[in-house]
């Protein structure tokens, strides 16, 4: 199945709401006036694109098409162009330029963080890289067990700690071993936490600082995994985690389970943080890099 086909399938709930909404507003040829622009802005906001980004898109649209007769196909194409322009600067695949290349992954409980690490491990093993998984969630026994399963599936090494042990010490031991063994990629799984839990957020910062003691340039990527179904809450999660660690990029999961896929656009415009990949299914292959053009087309089910 092609990348576009996968994106279309994964974004079906979002694309149906987008395309149906635009068709409903612009059924037949209409002159683009303020009333229609207001309706369109409400549609964009309802997709969790965010007020500021929605207004930005509408203002651009108005500057080009205001008081001109338009059909829904014309508006759809213009919206696709605007969305592509917003995504272009931030869509960037993960690149490995260090050895070991240390990737720290964080996020709140339930966002798909550990599963995302498993999918990344599979991807890098398929590329012929040696991969080490690090279980820094020492509070939840099931977390280490889940990561162990992914390690077995992808034939990766794994470093774990005793239940309740200091997670920063686990990270230190793992990174030291990875440097010694010349491992290509280190994927560090941190404990899922609510962004308002001060103690757990401080622990995340401690892991970050501990890694830097071994390699001043590391972690080379700090990825925040966000669940698209949380909508507006994704914005507050990014803000909170960015205060504790230098979040360098995002992976958005569960886009196949929501009609609020517009959150990707809002995050891109509001925070300018790199967008590495999206999750559009449960399969091990369903973590997808993508281009802004294909994503914009998939949002409106346009091939």
192 has binding-site annotation: yes
- Identify the DSSP state of 130: -
Query: How many of the other CB atoms lie within 10 Å of CB of 205?
Result: 13
254 is in an annotated binding site: yes
Contact assessment for residue 36 and residue 26, using Cβ atoms and an 8 Å cutoff: yes
SS3 249: strand
Could you give the 3-state DSSP secondary structure of residue 11? coil
200 is in an annotated binding site: no
> Scanning the structure block, which residue is given the tokens 């799984």?
189
Q: Is 256 annotated as a binding residue?
A: yes
Are the C-beta atoms of 139 and 191 separated by less than 8 Å?
Answer: yes
Q: Are 264 and 252 in contact (CB under 8 A)?
A: yes
216 a known binding residue?
no
Residue 160 in marked binding region:
no
Is residue 114 marked as binding? Answer: yes
Q: Is 76 annotated as a binding residue?
A: no
Confirm or deny that 111 is annotated as ligand binding: yes
189 annotated binding-site participant? yes
Per the annotation, does 255 bind a ligand? yes
- 185 annotated among ligand-binding-site residues: no
Q: Is 207 exposed, middle or buried (0-12, 13-18, 19+ CB in 10 A)?
A: buried
Query: Does 21 carry a binding-site annotation?
Result: no
**Binding residue ranges for GTP:** 107-114, 189-193, 253-256
**Binding residue ranges:** 107-114, 189-193, 253-256
């Amino acid at each position: 199945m092609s990348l576009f086909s996968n994106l279309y399938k994964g974004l079906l709930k979002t694309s149906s709401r987008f395309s149906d909404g635009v068709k409903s507003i612009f059924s037949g040829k209409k002159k683009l006036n303020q009333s229609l622009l207001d309706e369109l802005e409400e549609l964009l906001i309802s997709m969790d694109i965010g007020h500021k980004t929605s207004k930005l898109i509408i203002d651009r649209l108005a500057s080009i098409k205001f008081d001109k007769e338009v059909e829904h196909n014309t508006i759809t194409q213009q919206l696709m162009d605007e969305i592509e322009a917003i995504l272009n600067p931030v869509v960037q695949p993960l690149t490995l330029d260090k050895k070991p290349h240390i990737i720290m992954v964080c996020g709140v409980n339930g966002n798909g963080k550990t599963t995302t690490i498993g999918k990344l491990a599979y991807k890098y093993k398929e590329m012929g890289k040696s991969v080490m998984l690090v279980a820094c969630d020492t509070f939840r026994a099931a977390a280490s067990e889940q990561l162990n399963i992914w390690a077995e599936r992808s034939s990766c090494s794994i470093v774990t700690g005793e239940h309740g042990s200091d997670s920063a010490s686990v990270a230190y031991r793992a990174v030291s071993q990875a440097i010694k063994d010349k491992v290509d990629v280190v994927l560090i799984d941190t404990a899922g936490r609510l962004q308002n839990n001060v103690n757990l957020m401080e622990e995340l910062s401690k892991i970050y600082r501990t890694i830097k003691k071994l390699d001043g340039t590391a972690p080379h990527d700090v990825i925040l995994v966000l669940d698209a179904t949380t909508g507006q809450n994704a914005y507050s999660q990014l803000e909170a985690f960015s205060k504790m660690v230098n979040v360098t990029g995002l992976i958005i999961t569960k886009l196949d389970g929501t009609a609020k896929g517009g959150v990707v656009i809002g995050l891109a415009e509001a925070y300018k943080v790199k967008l590495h990949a999206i999750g559009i299914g449960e399969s091990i292959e369903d973590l997808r890099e993508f281009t802004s053009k294909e994503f914009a087309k998939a949002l409106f089910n346009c091939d």
